[in-house]
Amino acid sequence: MIKKKTKDLEETRQEDLNKTAENKETTYSLRNNTGKESDVYLPDDSTKSGSDNGTGTGDDADKTSREERNLIEKLAEMQDKYIRLSAEFDNYRKRTLREKMELSKYAGEDLLMKIIPLMDDFDRALKHMDAATDCADMKNGIDLIYIKFSEFLKQNGIREIESMNNDFNVDLHEAIAKIPVSEDELKGKVVDVVQKGYYLQDKVLRFSKVVVGE
């Protein structure tokens, strides 16, 4: 009978130990002020570690969520800036294209405005030509218009290429004929200018058409 009770107690104790191992708890014996022992069950380190890991995972999730929101906000801001910049560039392109077309269309406006007074002089000369009796006065009037027009060309960077009696230069002259000359110093030189040539600043605007002696 005693053996049976002892066996039952041992089995009960073994079951308690098994439960303690499964729950991963450690029993500590503490003495109170009366000298009696009381059993206190505290979670072991593994349970505490798991709790800490759970808390850390939550913090990491919150941090990741905040970072994602920040990235989404930055992406939306960059997209808005891109749309605005694209619209501004498109407006600039259209405006530049329109200005370029207007410039090419009206590029000679200032030049033509300066030529119009010369046309007025020619109109007046033509009106007086039929009624004029003095040819010398008509010649003087035409000479004045020619001088005025020459000054206009010079003011706009156009000047005549000096060709007569100068050496023939393929960069300035276009030979349309060659004629024999009796003087040796005239050989290879321009002996006649059929059509004048002109510079625009330092660039040849039109070649002089000349006759060359040989």
Instruction: Enter the pTM of the model.
Output: 0.51
Q: What percent of the chain has pLDDT over 90?
A: 35
Tokens 């009624």 correspond to 131
Angle between helices 135-155 and 109-131 (to 10 degrees): 180
**DSSP assignments along 62-104, one per residue:** HHHHHHHHHHHHHHHHHHHHHHHHHHHHHHHHHHHHHHHHHHH
pLDDT digits (tens, 9 = 90+) for 124-151: 888 887 777 778 888 888 899 999 999 9
32 — pLDDT class (breaks 50, 70, 90): very low
7 — pLDDT class (breaks 50, 70, 90): low
Weakest mean pLDDT among 40-54, 113-127, 173-187? 40-54
27 — pLDDT class (breaks 50, 70, 90): very low
Angle in degrees, CA 208, 210, 212, rounded to 5: 140
